[in-house]
Chain A
Amino acid sequence: MRTAAATLAALALTATPTVAGATEAPPLPTVEDVPVLAQTWVGNVNDDRLAVLSVHGLRRIDGGTVLYYSMGTPQDALGDRATFSAYGNGNTYVFPQGTNTLCAAAAVDAEQGLAYGALAASTPTGCLSTGIVDFATTAEDPERAPVAHVVLAEVPDDVDVVDVFVASQLVQGVPVEDGPLEPTVEEAAPAVGTGWPSVDAAEVAEADDSRSVFDLQSRVKDLSEDVTTTQDGEQQELDLDASVLFATDEARLTSRARSVIADAAEQIEAAGTSGTITVTGHTDSNASDSYNLDLSQRRARAVGRALEQRLPDGITVRTEGKGEAEPIADNGTAEGRALNRRVTITLPS
């Protein structure tokens, strides 16, 4: 059996030499009667071989969105049976639903800041998906690439293209279309090209979508001013680095802070903001809860006062402190603590 490393090495050897500034992503195969919308290579926790994952459809149905995909072993790595439900690094953690890798999937709409994960259901996988034992090849038929499906939360009608997370891998630019793929077959995981798995409308209607939609956060930092613009779902925030605004344990603004706050004020005005903005102080988890809460409140007030002086009429400023209660990163790392020490300016939605 070829290992993942051997496969990658062989692939690299056969590849065209990389040219800096390359402008096109790799092409997709054109296959009669089979839409191939995206492809990627996927690893397995129990098997050193890589599999090819192909996305064939992301289709709206009543109450959900069906993701159709197949997995297969490349010709030069065929061998023993492959259990594709174990592919994806054993991930059940990113966009989780249930307890199986087959349910850790999502349609990622980075533009709108939302991800549509699997619907929860009382099934062996914990979601509406291909069964664990079905998504495999046998030693007698190792060349087969079975098709699997998982039912995700409803992707809104006005979303045309999304990225997809499945089997721990990400692919971009998958169109969202209407209606299930046809023809359907009774087989749970048919070989690709022989029909598509059917989806039980009654099961979709009974599924639980209450924990299926995830907010995404997109962070872009202006390094010259130490201001990070965060898009959190539909909410836009400006995160100011408290280490730049204040000395340690202090709530008096540094000389550098004036420039940072002035830049933030320009961004707020440029965004056409009106109404009330909220300035919130946050700390890392060092020191006590009460100390951090007080420090965060004093820091928020200091930034709020300075900001208010630079904003036009029609924008009012409210301040509050959260202490260490709302971390955005891991307080167990120095980098995470630094990110948690911040003053956030939340713009009206």
Chain B
Amino acid sequence: MTFRRDRVAALAVAALTAGLLAGCSDDEPDATPTGDGPSASATGTPSPSETAPVDRSREVVDGAAPLEEIGTTTGASGSSFRGATFTFYRLDASPTSTLLVWTMTGGGGSNPQDANYLSWELYPRMVVDDTEYRVLTYSRQGEDDTEVPGAVSNPVLRLTDGTESSPQSALFPPLPDDVDEVELKSPWFDNLTLPVSRPG
């Protein structure tokens, strides 16, 4: 089976369509009245009769931890990312998965073609000693109703010279408890070693 190579273009068109939809929908809000829930509610949440609701937007948004850089590397010469810079912000290991967060800054005409989520085999690999961890994939319906895997990640739609992209993320299998750094390998960029963080 041969995959089509125009997927990046298709993603871009669909993204534009989504943007247009956002501007023309007449979607109406659900006006279901408030009722008593069947079981648990948010811990400590008062009912409207007890206290006036308070907009907590600023506390929630401005309380977010900043993204902290943990490593950088350059785009591989043989990839569509030649000339780009990769900056890594998170490598968080939980008991069941590992999360990688990064951005790309375009340069030298680099483009994101190699980062298509359907080409999961090109995604970074985490190497610890003699063990290699691949990005998680999920099964999706492909052409001819066959099931093909896609990376549990987000598609990259644009890369501009001199501009840092929005954060990308991908999910990997869990790492052993005693691992505190991994080597990251990928056709996209030059290898680098990153520290592992673990949720408190």
Interface residues of A (CB under 8 A from B): 3-5, 8-9, 11-12, 14-16, 18-36, 39-46, 50, 52, 54, 56-57, 61, 70, 72-75, 83, 85-86, 88-96, 99-101, 108-111, 115, 123-125, 131-134, 143-145, 161, 163, 165, 168-173, 177-189, 191-200, 211, 214-224, 228, 232, 285, 324-333, 335-336, 338-339
- Known interface pairs A25-B200, A329-B149. Does A215 touch B139 (Cβ–Cβ under 8 Å)? yes
Interface residues of B (CB under 8 A from A): 1-3, 5, 11-12, 14-19, 21-22, 25-48, 53-71, 87, 90, 92, 94-97, 99, 101, 103, 105, 117-122, 127, 130-134, 136-141, 146, 148-158, 163-167, 169-171, 173-174, 180-181, 187, 195-200
- Known interface pairs A36-B60, A92-B18. Does A172 touch B55 (Cβ–Cβ under 8 Å)? no
What are 28 inter-chain pairs, A to B, with CB distance below 8 A?
A4-B164, A5-B105, A5-B164, A9-B164, A25-B197, A31-B63, A33-B45, A33-B56, A36-B63, A42-B166, A46-B19, A56-B42, A70-B60, A75-B58, A86-B18, A89-B154, A94-B153, A109-B96, A110-B96, A111-B96, A124-B26, A180-B38, A185-B48, A186-B29, A216-B137, A221-B134, A228-B134, A332-B2
- Cα distance A102–B48 in the bound complex, in angstroms: 28
Contact B34 A328 (CB under 8 A): no
- Known interface pairs A15-B69, A224-B130. Does A192 touch B55 (Cβ–Cβ under 8 Å)? yes
Chain B nearest CB: distance from A25 CB in Å? 5
Chain B nearest CB: distance from A170 CB in Å? 4
Contact B34 A18 (CB under 8 A): no
Contacting residues, chain A, for B134 (C-beta < 8 A): 218-221, 228
A54 is contacted by which of B38, B64, B133, B197 (Cβ under 8 Å)? B64
- Count chain B CB atoms within 10 A of each CB in A19, A93, A101, A177 and give the residue with the most: A93
Contact B61 A52 (CB under 8 A): yes
- Cα distance A44–B157 in the bound complex, in angstroms: 10
- Cα distance A59–B186 in the bound complex, in angstroms: 37
Contacting residues, chain B, for A143 (C-beta < 8 A): 57-58
Contact A330 B3 (CB under 8 A): yes
> Beyond A93-B150, A183-B41, A328-B149: 11 further Cβ-contacts under 8 Å?
A4-B163, A32-B54, A40-B101, A75-B62, A83-B22, A86-B22, A90-B19, A93-B117, A94-B153, A111-B96, A221-B133
